[in-house]
Structure 1
Amino acid sequence: MLEKIYHASCVLCFSGGQDSTTLALWAKKAFKQTHLLAFNYAQKHAIELKQAQKIAKLLDLPLKILDLHFLQEITLSALFASNPQSSNAPHPKNPNLPASFVPDRNALFFTLAHAYAFNLGADFVLVGVSQEDYSGYFDCRKEFIDSLQTSLNLGAFGTPEGISFLAPFMAMGKAQEFALAQDLGGLELILEHTHTCYEGVRGVRHAYGYGCGACPSCKLRQDAYKEFLRDYK
């Protein structure tokens, strides 16, 4: 992980899921100020926003939620509540992508986080993406993050330098994230309060947390928890 940056502040793209909550646990210790930014884009698993609010209170971190319902009007994804398509299917516009892919979602989220950071005078935007566990989403890769950072800084500051994007989990898998959460004293917070299930199922707690157990996100998290217990616990 990165060295502690006590003098700096950051805006953290926050969903209430495993990745962003683990990142928030670390950021709370690493930064002087951490501002959480979440997005309501009419997602099928909107329960994640309720969990995000609970987690923000538990961590005593400020949280702002932006309304992006318009996104469902201009693009397709199985993640939208209005779309009955299974998240296990291929995307209708690109069979090489999963149906859960939301075109330009990360570009929009990260752009808004950059604007928020600019307004707050924050030094960094933190994102919990990983190209090791990126589920086929091309906008979770390092080259995308680096390119977007350059473009947004050119637009806001006139140079490639300005607000830095940090993706500390880029080369990590979710099993390593479980281990990091344990090291930070937040493993039970991750298991009990975070939500990653695409179907929004939160009725029964499994060993790895809550979820339907069948969607791609649940399968990834379940496998990662087994790996964590085997290799890191």
Structure 2
Amino acid sequence: MSVEQESAIVIFSGGQDSTTCLFWAKKKFKDVIAISFDYGQRHKLELECASDICKKYGIEHHILDMGLLNQLAPNSLTRDTIKVDEKAPKEGTPNTFVDGRNLLFLTFGAIFAKQRKIRHLVTGVSQSDYSGYPDCRDIFIKSLNVTLELSMEYPFVIHTPLMWIDKEQTWELAYDLGVFDIIKEETLTCYNGIKGAGCGSCPACTLRKNGLEAFEQNKQREC
């Protein structure tokens, strides 16, 4: 069976990367289901944004409860009392890194997928601009893919459309998919919980803004 005849589960936050992957998956697979996670994140607007996008574009959406992650891994994305790192630390991971998040998200996504007899999982991780997050690396994804198959005796395939591209190329992919304006106006990437262009100064906004400016400059040169 070709992938065009199969279904896929998209790990979906409502941010730039996962929304780009959502529409990438809609082009590639017959059916797409989006899964989001409530892990006590700092901004519930993230879940509202994910829900709004799925409702607007007719995508089946599920929100799974992962509250325990908030208790186990306190960080600046789950605690108002911890200020978001403006720059990556000289040693260790940024305090926006949530230990075990992608591991758990993909594991729970795989369990959900198997019950639906779906083998394809899509996630928006990228090694090109991974901000020091170890669970965004290709080696982790490949390792987890094998582990999931061994743990459930099921042939999973984890797709990472953004793994080897930077933010400028991610904007270009959104443009090629015909969803540039959706990504620009309707997604929430900002660590301070502001949709669209965001606060403009947190690390997530800076990365997004720099990529957008580079993409738009290149488009102007082409015209």
TM-score (normalizing by structure 2): 0.92
Aligned mates of 1:163, 1:57 — CA distance in 2: 27
State the shift of 1:169 in Å.
0.9
Note the alpha carbon deviations across 1:103-139, whole angstroms, 9 max, x for none. Answer: 1111000100111111111120101111001111010
Which has the larger displacement, 78-87 or 184-193?
78-87
Q: Does structure 1 residue 114 correspond to structure 2 residue 110? A: yes
1:97 alignment partner, one of 88, 93, 108: 93
Aligned mates of 1:89, 1:220 — CA distance in 2: 11
> Amino acid of the residue matched to residue 32 of structure 1?
K
Q: Does structure 1 residue 230 correspond to structure 2 residue 223? A: no
Q: Does structure 1 residue 211 correspond to structure 2 residue 209? A: no
Q: Does structure 1 residue 199 correspond to structure 2 residue 186? A: no
Residue pair 1:87, 1:198 contacting (<8 A) in 2 also: no
> Amino acid of the residue matched to residue 192 of structure 2?
E
Aligned mates of 1:84, 1:118 — CA distance in 2: 37
Note the alpha carbon deviations across 1:46-78, whole angstroms, 9 max, x for none. Answer: 211111111111221100001112212112211
Partner of 2:181: 188
Higher strand share: 1
Residue pair 2:171, 2:212 contacting (<8 A) in 1 also: yes
> Amino acid of the residue matched to residue 77 of structure 2?
L
Aligned mates of 2:126, 2:141 — CA distance in 1: 11
Partner of 2:172: 179
State the shift of 1:90 in Å.
6.0
State the shift of 1:189 in Å.
0.6
Q: SS of the residue aligned with 1:210?
A: coil
Aligned mates of 2:34, 2:204 — CA distance in 1: 22
> Amino acid of the residue matched to residue 117 of structure 1?
A
Residue pair 2:197, 2:209 contacting (<8 A) in 1 also: no
Residue pair 2:88, 2:131 contacting (<8 A) in 1 also: no
Residue pair 1:79, 1:87 contacting (<8 A) in 2 also: no
Structure 2: tracts of 5 or more residues without a match: none
Mapping 1:106-185, distance limit 5 Å? 106-157=102-153, 162-185=155-178
Structure 1: tracts of 5 or more residues without a match: 203-208
Aligned mates of 1:216, 1:89 — CA distance in 2: 7
Residue pair 2:149, 2:155 contacting (<8 A) in 1 also: yes
Aligned residues: 219
2:37 alignment partner, one of 36, 39, 43: 39
TM-score (normalizing by structure 1): 0.89
Q: SS of the residue aligned with 1:218?
A: helix
Note the alpha carbon deviations across 1:3-22, whole angstroms, 9 max, x for none. Answer: x8311111100000011111
How many percent identity over aligned positions? 38
Aligned mates of 1:212, 1:87 — CA distance in 2: 14
Residue pair 1:179, 1:232 contacting (<8 A) in 2 also: no
